[in-house]
Homo-oligomer: A and B are copies of this chain.
Amino acid sequence: MQVRVAAMQMAMSADSHENLQRAEHWVRAAAKAGAQIILPSELFSTLYFCKDQDIDHFALARTKDQDPGVQKMQKLAAELGVVIPVSFFEKAGNCYFNSVLTFDADGRELGLYRKAHIPDGPGYQEKFYFSPGDTGFQVFPSRFGRLGIGICWDQWFPETARILALQGAEILLFPTAIGSEPKAPELNSRSHWTRVMQGHAAANILPVVAANRIGQEMGKDATITFYGGSFICDGTGEIIAMADQEEGFIDATLDLAAIARHRLDWGLFRDRRPDLYGSLCSLDGKPKKRD
């Protein structure tokens, strides 16, 4: 099965309406170029507000049925016949999550995923805003393949990719917002960020699509230059499309049947040793005692 995937890369402004207009523009452009699965980056409706701990930013959150970005993307998915995993700031009861709602190519809701791994550090104050996701990892069976979705920081964890692979994912998608480190200007994590996901692809024999934002955003406490570098890699982790720091989209065609055959041939999933993996289910590396 041949599938054409695209990752969008944009700079965002404080004007959400304008961000969504531009997102629509790029979704239409990617669809016109033949993309069947189109991935916007993380929290693409707004600036990356987590630069600061600011109580006022909670006002940006919406329930999944009231978010303007979600609504716009759902309509576009149905109109254009494309699959869109839509990142948004979710309000749910008294809690707030960093979520993705994925729409199938007919606009039907495939399901909600809430970011499991929440970072915290200078410029990336996510633990102030988001509860750690309670949905678990999920694979969504779309018209164009079974999609495993993680959100930004999730992409740093081999567990995310492996669990999605075990659940039968055929493509891994990671909407992202990552850039410079406000307290460590000498550190550029772009290559590190790229390699960790190439590793997930290689270890699970699964293609990866990563969409990052660009632009410089000035907060009260921190300024971040988002480095873009959105990419698509094949099931061996080889980069087959990569953006630098320009706005637009990248795309590539994936042969999911050929990749599945390679995955089977390589035998990795046959040879796992879950009897030895108990310590993965602890933080300190000591297998947890059963109740």
Q: Contact at A153–B271, with CB atoms within 8 Å? A: yes
Asked if A260 is at the interface of the complex by the 8 Å CB criterion, the answer is no
Asked if A102 is at the interface of the complex by the 8 Å CB criterion, the answer is no
Instruction: Answer whether A269 and B281 are a contact pair too, CB < 8 Å, given A236-B192, A290-B290.
Output: no
* A157 CA / B165 CA spacing, docked (Å): 13
Interface 0/1 of A243-280, CB less than 8 Å to B: 00000000000000000000001111111111011111
Chain B residues in 8 Å Cβ range of A200? 158, 199, 203
Asked if A166 is at the interface of the complex by the 8 Å CB criterion, the answer is yes
Asked if A175 is at the interface of the complex by the 8 Å CB criterion, the answer is no
Chain B residues in 8 Å Cβ range of A271? 117-120, 153, 157
**Distance (Å) between the CB of A116 and the closest chain B CB?**
5
* Copies of this polypeptide in the complex: 2
* A288 CA / B153 CA spacing, docked (Å): 27
Instruction: Output the nearest chain B residue to A271 by Cβ-Cβ distance.
Output: B117
* A116 CA / B271 CA spacing, docked (Å): 9
* A189 CA / B197 CA spacing, docked (Å): 18
Q: Contact at A132–B273, with CB atoms within 8 Å? A: yes
**The residue from B116, B168, B265, B272 contacting A159, defined by CB atoms under 8 A apart:** B272
* A288 CA / B290 CA spacing, docked (Å): 13
Instruction: Answer whether A196 and B237 are a contact pair too, CB < 8 Å, given A117-B271, A156-B268.
Output: yes
Q: Contact at A120–B290, with CB atoms within 8 Å? A: no
**Distance (Å) between the CB of A279 and the closest chain B CB?**
5
Instruction: Output the nearest chain B residue to A233 by Cβ-Cβ distance.
Output: B195
Chain A contact residues, CB within 8 Å of chain B? 116-121, 132, 136-137, 153, 156-159, 161-163, 166-168, 184, 189, 191-192, 195-203, 236-238, 265-274, 276-285, 288, 290-291
- Some 18 contacts from A to B, beta carbons below 8 A apart, are A119-B271, A121-B267, A137-B276, A158-B161, A159-B272, A159-B277, A163-B280, A191-B236, A192-B202, A192-B238, A195-B202, A196-B203, A198-B199, A199-B202, A199-B237, A269-B283, A278-B281, A280-B281
Q: Knowing that A158-B158, A195-B236 touch, tell me 7 more A-B residue pairs with CB under 8 angstroms.
A: A119-B267, A159-B272, A166-B280, A198-B198, A199-B199, A274-B283, A274-B288
